[in-house]
Copies of this chain bind each other. A is one copy, B any other.
């Protein structure tokens, strides 16, 4: 299989971290999102929504959406619960991540890293950061009595939420007020076969 990806993308990193922890070999293609490489006719044939990551399977099927890719790769493994309610709760946190967290944690980081200080998109930051703090408050409360998000076991829900939370300060967030979350970040980073965000796949 081949992952079409962008090294600094947290969404791509979710899939890379899971693949490393599954011990799964894969080919990797770097797509430069700043140079419009997700908008070429060739890329849009892989993902008409024009986003990385997308995983090309050995039969040529292209699967986009980071959290759907993780589900595909991890179903039946130790990274997805064996119970019906556990699986639903993993999905609960992955939908939370895409709707209530990613636009307010990943997007501020993108804005800060890709647009100059006088760019009009910087005006979005205060509102996005406020909504990001609301997401962190939900996570902090949940983690006040838990080691991991679901069933006290590391799962793809933790990977999904870790990917952008651990670099949230790049986007102007401050994680000092969230001690439970910071301990959880440390527990994720201590998992076997952990790889950091910018480790280029071989």
Residues of chain A having any CB pair with chain B under 8 Å: 48-49, 57, 61, 63-69, 71-72, 75, 84-85, 87-89, 91-92, 94-96, 98-100, 102-103, 135, 138, 141-142
- Majority DSSP secondary structure for residues of A touching B: helix
A49 contacts which chain B residues (CB < 8 A)?
Answer: 96, 100, 135, 138
Cβ–Cβ contact A141 & B48, under 8 A: yes
Contact B100 A88 (CB under 8 A): no
Q: A71-B88, A75-B88, A103-B103 are in contact. List 13 more A-B contacts (CB 8 A).
A: A63-B85, A63-B88, A64-B92, A64-B96, A65-B99, A66-B95, A68-B88, A68-B94, A71-B87, A71-B91, A72-B84, A72-B87, A95-B98
29 A-B residue pairs with CB within 8 Å: A48-B138, A48-B142, A49-B96, A49-B100, A61-B85, A63-B88, A63-B92, A64-B96, A65-B92, A67-B91, A67-B95, A68-B89, A68-B92, A68-B94, A68-B95, A69-B88, A71-B87, A71-B88, A71-B91, A72-B84, A72-B85, A72-B87, A75-B87, A75-B88, A91-B91, A94-B95, A98-B98, A99-B102, A103-B103
